[in-house]
Amino acid sequence: MSKIEIKKIVKALNASDGAGVKLKRSIGTPEADYIDPFLMLDEFGSENKDDYLAGFPPHPHRGIETVTYMLNGEFEHKDSTGSKGNMGPGDIQWMKTGRGIIHSEMPTMSDGKLLGFQLWINMPASMKMNKPKYDYIKSNQKTKFEDHDKKINLIAGKFENVEGPVKGHNVEPIYFDIELKENKKINIKVPETHNSFVYLLKGDLKIGSKNHEKINDSTLILLERGSNLEIFANKESKFLFIAGKPIGEPIARGGPFVMNTKAEILQAIQDYNNGTFAKY
C-alpha cells in the first residue's frame, strides 16, 4: 500500500464573489488552477453581516457541478427550473448544472456567523448538455463515523463500514468533513487513480511520513497519488478531505461556464443572451 505524501501547500487567497461576499479561494488560483476534476474551492464566511448580506444574486452556470456545504448560517436557493429551498448548518446542495441553470443564493439571516464551502467539479463532455439535477442532503441525512479519536461527516465515499449518501457518481468522489483530536491520527484508503487534497479549516496537521512546513488555517494541501493517507493532528483540527477520479478532457473556461472548447463557451454566452440558455 503506497503512502500518500504532500505535493504542494497552497495558502488560500482572499477574494469576493456574487455581490461582494468575502471568501478565501484555494483551487482556481494561479497556485492551483485545476486539479482534475476539481475546478474551484472557496471557503466563504464572516461574522460581519456586511460581508455576506448582498449574497449571490441570479447568475448562470453551464458544464459544471457545484457542491455547497453549509457549516453556519442560512441561505435560500432559487433557480430557473422553479426549484427553491433553504440551506442551514450541515446541509449540502450538490447541483449538476448541465446545459444551463440560472440561480441565486441569498442569506435568510440578518446577522450571525456565516461559514461554508463551495466546490466546483468538472463534468465530462458527454454530460455537459444534460438537464440540471440536484441532490439536497439535509444535515441529518449525512452519515457519520465517530470514535474516541475522530468524528467524520461523510458526504461521499466510504470510511471503514460507513458510506456517504452521494453514490454512483462518474468521478467516484470522496468528500469527508473530519474533526481529529490532538495527538491522534487517521488513515484513509484512497484509490490510486484519484487526485486528492486536504483543506485545513483550523488546527495543525502532519501529513504523510516526510517532513513539511507548518500548515496554518485556511490552507489547501495538494497530495501525491497513492493508496494510504495518514494524517496526524498536532492539535485538535478540523479539515476536509476530498478526492476524485480525473476526467482527462481539455477544458475551456468563460466565467461561470466550463466547456471543452472556446466555441462552446461562445455558444453558452450566445444562448444566455438570446434567452435559450435555460430552456429544457
Q: What does 108-134 look like in DSSP terms, one character per residue?
A: --SSS-EEEEEEEEE--TTTTTSPPEE
Spell out the per-residue pLDDT of the chain, length 280, in tens. Answer: 799 999 999 999 988 877 677 889 999 999 999 999 999 999 998 788 777 877 788 899 999 999 999 999 998 888 888 888 899 999 999 999 999 999 888 888 878 888 999 999 999 999 999 999 988 899 988 899 999 999 999 999 999 999 999 999 999 999 999 999 999 999 999 999 999 999 999 999 999 999 898 888 999 999 999 999 999 999 999 999 999 999 999 999 999 999 999 999 999 999 999 988 877 6
Contact 199, 240 (CB under 8 A): yes
Can you give the pLDDT at residue 83? 83
CATH superfamily of 6-274: Jelly Rolls (2.60.120.10)
Tell the residue number behind the cell numbers 505524501, with chain if given.
5
How far is residue 174's CA from residue 196's CA, in Å, rounded to a whole number?
A: 9
Distances in Å between the alpha carbon of 114 and those of 26, 42, 120, 230? 18, 13, 20, 31
Can you give the pLDDT at residue 202? 96
Can you give the pLDDT at residue 19? 64
DSSP summary character for residue 262: H
Give the Cβ contact number of residue 20 at 10 Å: 13
- The number of angstroms, rounded, from the C-alpha of 268 to the middle of its chain's C-alpha atoms is 24
* Beta pairing, strands 174-180 & 228-244: antiparallel
Domain range summary for the chain, segments of one domain joined by +: 6-274
Can you give the pLDDT at residue 180? 98
Can you give the pLDDT at residue 49? 77
Contact 57, 255 (CB under 8 A): no
Contacts of 165 by beta carbon, 8 Å cutoff, 6+ apart: 135, 137, 141, 142, 143, 154, 155, 156
Interior/surface letters 202-212, b for 16+ CB within 10 angstroms, e for the rest: ebbbbbbeeee
How far is residue 23's CA from residue 164's CA, in Å, rounded to a whole number?
A: 27
Contacts of 278 by beta carbon, 8 Å cutoff, 6+ apart: 60, 80, 81, 100, 101, 102
3-state secondary structure of 176: strand
Global confidence as pTM: 0.95
Kindly state the cell numbers that stand for 211: 517532513
Q: Which of 140, 153, 114, 149 is nearest to 240 (CA)?
A: 153
